[in-house]
Amino acid sequence: MSTRKQYNRKKSYNHSENRVGFVKAKKSLGQNFLNDRVVVQDIVLCGEVEACDAVIEIGPGRGAMTGELASRAGLVIAVEIDKDLIPGLEELARLYGNIELIHGDILKLDVEKDIVDKYVRPRGLSKVKVIANLPYYITTPIIMKFLEDCPQLIDCMVIMVQKEVAQRMTAKPGGKDYGAMTVTVNYFTESSIEFIVPPHCFSPQPGVDSAVVKLKMRSEPPFETPDRDYFFKTVKAAFLQRRKTLANALANSPMTSVSVSDVTEALAEMGINVMARGETLSGEQFAELSGKLLRRK
């Protein structure tokens, strides 16, 4: 964790001043709106946003970050699912002139076709950054979508998530936080927790602390995978039954199609205890194991 800032309780952001105005928050859409201007500025600074950047903001909400992003970026593509927030955001877009508003579900969009081809490439912008205070009910699917579908299109992601999700993304092997998400995030990105944000910086307040995480996309994976698809299947199968030994977890999974003896032989070849659990293996060890299993399948 690079910094641990303290955000004081004095609210420095008032939504009645905001052009999007007051729309009642919907819990079902993960609406915890930022009410602290310092936090907003710190998130935008983390993204090192420049005029040559296109920023995808997932869930602009009442626009707490959108104007700040638009004043620095070449273009902001703001994707909001809630129709009640659209009129206010349209007004904000008219005011800035470099905000493209998409009324839709980020999980249903094709990032390349619906966003990059349509808005970014025609303007010749060089980098695409994802900067967002994410809706917590779909944090993992959103992160996985960007990492698995289009890592080559994105420069970095600066995202507010629940603190425990941030800890899972940046965990080291051996602990309870380490899992499939950690291995996947580390394969595609260099990750860091930038700062912790307490509940009073939002309205309504979430029940937990939040954290801003920066995921800088790697230009090359950190290690080779004999078959990327099978590597990710091995990782997912290992953590679906994380209390089991690796041999039992992988042998019981239709994703890997191997026997207990295939796994124990492969682990023995690698000098790893045959009773090991998935949480003790690094990403690189999973890659080696998946290669050995693939040859035995």
* 69 contacts ligand SAM (rule: CB under 6 A): no
* Closest distance of CB 13 from ligand SAM, Å: 9
Taking contact as CB under 6 A, which single stretch among the options 32-40, 172-180, 247-255, 263-271 is the one that binds ligand SAM?
A: 32-40
* 82 contacts ligand SAM (rule: CB under 6 A): yes
Scanning residues 89 to 118, which ones bind ligand SAM (CB under 6 A)?
Answer: 105-107
Q: Which is nearer to ligand SAM, 82 or 279 (CB)?
A: 82
Q: Which of 77, 151, 150 is nearest to 118 (CA)?
A: 77
Residues making up the chain, counted from first to last: 297
* 166 contacts ligand SAM (rule: CB under 6 A): no
DSSP SS3 for 68:
helix
* 76 contacts ligand SAM (rule: CB under 6 A): no
Edge-to-edge, what's the strand order for the sheet holding 210-217?
Answer: 99-103, 75-80, 53-58, 127-133, 156-162, 210-217, 189-197
* 55 contacts ligand SAM (rule: CB under 6 A): no
* 47 contacts ligand SAM (rule: CB under 6 A): no
User: Look-up: residue for tokens 């710190």?
Assistant: 42
* Among the listed residues 18, 32, 184, 264, the single contact to ligand SAM using CB under 6 A: 32
* Closest distance of CB 106 from ligand SAM, Å: 4
* 79 contacts ligand SAM (rule: CB under 6 A): yes
In order of 35, 214, 221, 252, the CA distances from 170 in angstroms are 27, 10, 16, 28
CB-based contact 92:61 (threshold 8 Å): no
* 18 contacts ligand SAM (rule: CB under 6 A): no
CA distance 145 to 143: 5
* Among the listed residues 135, 179, 198, 283, the single contact to ligand SAM using CB under 6 A: 135
User: Look-up: residue for tokens 């690094």?
Assistant: 282
* Among the listed residues 133, 139, 170, 264, the single contact to ligand SAM using CB under 6 A: 133
* Closest distance of CB 178 from ligand SAM, Å: 26
* Among the listed residues 18, 20, 31, 143, the single contact to ligand SAM using CB under 6 A: 31
Size of the site for ligand SAM (CB under 6 A): 24
DSSP assignment of 228-287 equals: HHHHHHHHHHHHHTTTS-HHHHHHT-TTT---HHHHHHHHHHTT--TT--GGG--HHHHH
CA distance 14 to 120: 32
Taking contact as CB under 6 A, which single stretch among the options 55-63, 69-77, 92-100, 271-279 is the one that binds ligand SAM?
A: 55-63
End-to-end CA distance of the chain: 41
* 59 contacts ligand SAM (rule: CB under 6 A): yes
DSSP assignment of 127-168 equals: EEEEEEE--GGGHHHHHHHHHHH-GGG-SEEEEEEEHHHHHH
Using CB under 6 A, list all residues that contact ligand SAM. Answer: 29-34, 58-62, 64-65, 79-82, 85, 105-107, 133, 135, 138
